[in-house]
């Protein structure tokens, strides 16, 4: 029995080892160049610039194997977690160590973090309001040629901020300590992401009381890759969402819960979808009049907090332009596929409007239905919320990105095992769906069709071949 436990601990050791392999090219690059500034190739990894078709394909295959092995080890760790970890403390230590390894990886599939840095620097050094002027316009106006601005992707260079004001303020705060160094700025964002990731892991355990779920979150290669290696701000939304759930479910304090949910909305707007589910769960034992009263009170509190955060940047309604910028872009979504084949903007715009109207009606119907029902159970309402969120992410959004799957993470622990398996499978399939881009050394938007096909086919295949229930 002792030998079996020792043998099974090899999974976490191998997981750390393979994570280091994934980070090695970035470590070598940093040792040789002393800066990430000239690391501009988005779709390369082991070769500096693949010059032949063979190098490009090998590059993609190597990354595919590394990611696949990481996920295989991750699932084995979850399966054998009781023999691998003595207690929750050892899990947290493992999560922290692996997070540091992933933090060493230079972003290479997404450069969003450089937009965060540029907007924060424009706000902190030049005192410009990034909701009204883009980083490209600032650089042109001041004749600036500095690393803090120059790594912004071309598609965002002349766009104003698309995130809520809390994130813009966080970016201002982080970059104000960077001394104008893009390397220090990136390090600050990575350190913050590690801290948030560890806190999120502990919150998952406090809320669910299950070590398996802490492992499912904290050692998930998808989350480590997107939230720490590539520093997507969605991990902060996960933090505030988990805090909102923690205070309503564990502490029975809806007003503190609303504060945290409002802060999540002040980063990305979609989290407002969760608000009625949390409020109505809190008032589950009250009559209809009390339920309506609490809905109104929480609604007023929510609006007041959002208004206070917007006061940091608002001049006029242009501050809300970010709500619509993303919906004008098309990639990796059903709408992109429709646009590719139909090639008629009018029809696509009509379909977008029709889907949005149907979604709003369905959402209101679900909220009213919960308001009027006698028995309200948390897991049942969260499952309804996740259906709504699935529809929003995979049908309504016109430009899907893999890290949006992070939005499903905070509430997945109350879903049926098959749905949990699907979300975990989507985390894996969303990563390997990038392989055609690596193999072709291309960011061509037409590869969106292959991306969607690979992501869903692989995810559904994995779920179909693993119908065992998740046990903790």
pLDDT tens profile 399-421: 999 999 999 999 999 999 999 99
- What is the model's pLDDT at position 317? 81
Helix axes 345-372, 378-391, angle to 10 degrees: 170
In this predicted model, which residue has the larger pLDDT, 406 or 146?
406
Indicate if the pLDDT at residue 5 is higher than 60: no
Kindly list the distances between the CA atom of residue 136 and the CA atoms of 154, 169, 213, 228, in Å, as whole numbers in the listed order. 9, 19, 43, 26
- What is the model's pLDDT at position 164? 94
Give the rounded percent of residues in the chain with a pLDDT score beyond 70.
Answer: 96
- What is the model's pLDDT at position 472? 41
Q: What's the DSSP call for residue 331?
A: B
pTM of the full structure: 0.95
> Where are the domains positioned within the chain?
330-472
| Contact yes or no for 94/12 (Cβ under 8 A) | yes
Indicate if the pLDDT at residue 469 is higher than 90: no
Residue 461, Cβ neighbours under 10 Å: how many?
12
Kindly list the distances between the CA atom of residue 409 and the CA atoms of 392, 399, 404, in Å, as whole numbers in the listed order. 15, 20, 10
pLDDT digits (tens, 9 = 90+) for 328-381: 889 999 999 999 999 888 999 999 999 999 999 999 999 999 999 989 999 999
Two tokens at 192? 């913050």
Residues 246-275 have a mean pLDDT of 96
- What is the model's pLDDT at position 133? 93
pLDDT tier for residue 3 given thresholds of 50, 70 and 90:
low
Helices (H), 316-447: 322-325, 334-342, 345-372, 378-391, 417-432, 435-440
Helix axes 417-432, 448-465, angle to 10 degrees: 140
pLDDT digits (tens, 9 = 90+) for 42-63: 566 666 677 788 888 988 999 9
Half-sphere exposure of 378 (CA within 13 A, CB side): 14
pLDDT digits (tens, 9 = 90+) for 315-328: 888 788 777 777 78
| Contact yes or no for 171/120 (Cβ under 8 A) | yes
């Amino acid at each position: 029995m002792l030998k079996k436990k020792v043998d099974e601990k090899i999974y976490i050791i191998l997981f750390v080892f393979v994570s280091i392999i994934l980070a090695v090219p970035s470590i070598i690059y940093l040792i040789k160049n002393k800066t990430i500034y000239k690391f501009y190739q988005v779709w390369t990894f082991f070769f500096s610039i693949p010059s032949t078709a063979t190098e490009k394909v090998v590059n993609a295959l190597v990354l595919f194997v590394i990611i696949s092995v990481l996920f295989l080890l991750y699932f084995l760790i979850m399966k054998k977690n009781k023999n691998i970890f003595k207690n929750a403390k050892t899990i947290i230590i493992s999560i922290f160590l692996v997070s540091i390894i992933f933090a060493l990886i230079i972003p290479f599939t997404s450069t969003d973090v450089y937009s965060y840095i540029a907007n924060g620097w424009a706000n902190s050094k030049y005192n410009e309001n990034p909701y009204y002027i883009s980083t490209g316009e600032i650089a042109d106006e001041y004749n600036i040629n500095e690393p803090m601005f120059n790594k912004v992707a071309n598609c965002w260079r002349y766009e104003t901020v698309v995130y809520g004001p809390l994130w813009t303020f966080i970016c201002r705060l982080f970059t104000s300590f960077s001394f104008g160094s893009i390397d220090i700025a990136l390090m600050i964002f990575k350190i913050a992401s590690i801290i948030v990731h560890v806190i999120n892991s502990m919150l998952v355990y406090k809320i669910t009381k299950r070590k398996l779920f802490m492992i499912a979150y904290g050692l998930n290669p998808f989350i480590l890759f997107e939230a720490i290696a590539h520093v997507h701000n969605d991990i902060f939304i996960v933090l505030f969402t988990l805090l909102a759930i923690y205070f309503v479910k564990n502490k029975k304090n809806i007003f503190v819960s609303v504060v945290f949910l409002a802060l999540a909305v002040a980063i990305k707007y979609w989290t407002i979808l969760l608000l009625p589910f949390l409020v109505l769960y809190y008032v589950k034992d009250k009559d209809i009049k009390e339920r309506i009263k609490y809905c109104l009170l929480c609604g007023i509190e929510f609006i007041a907090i959002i208004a206070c955060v917007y006061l940091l940047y608002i001049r006029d309604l242009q501050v809300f332009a970010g709500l619509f910028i993303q919906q004008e872009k098309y990639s990796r979504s059903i709408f992109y596929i429709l646009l590719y084949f139909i090639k008629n903007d009018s029809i696509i715009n009509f379909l977008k409007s029709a889907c949005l109207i149907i979604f709003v009606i369905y959402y209101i119907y679900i909220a009213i239905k919960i308001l009027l029902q006698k028995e309200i159970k948390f897991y049942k309402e969260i499952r309804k919320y996740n259906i709504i969120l699935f529809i929003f992410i995979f049908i309504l959004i016109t430009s899907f990105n893999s890290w949006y799957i992070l939005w499903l993470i905070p509430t997945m622990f109350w879903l049926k095992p098959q749905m949990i398996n699907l979300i975990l499978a989507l985390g894996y399939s969303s990563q390997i769906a990038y392989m055609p881009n690596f193999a072709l050394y291309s960011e061509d938007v037409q590869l969106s069709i292959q991306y969607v096909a690979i992501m869903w086919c692989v995810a559904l295949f994995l779920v179909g071949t693993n119908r065992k229930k998740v046990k903790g």
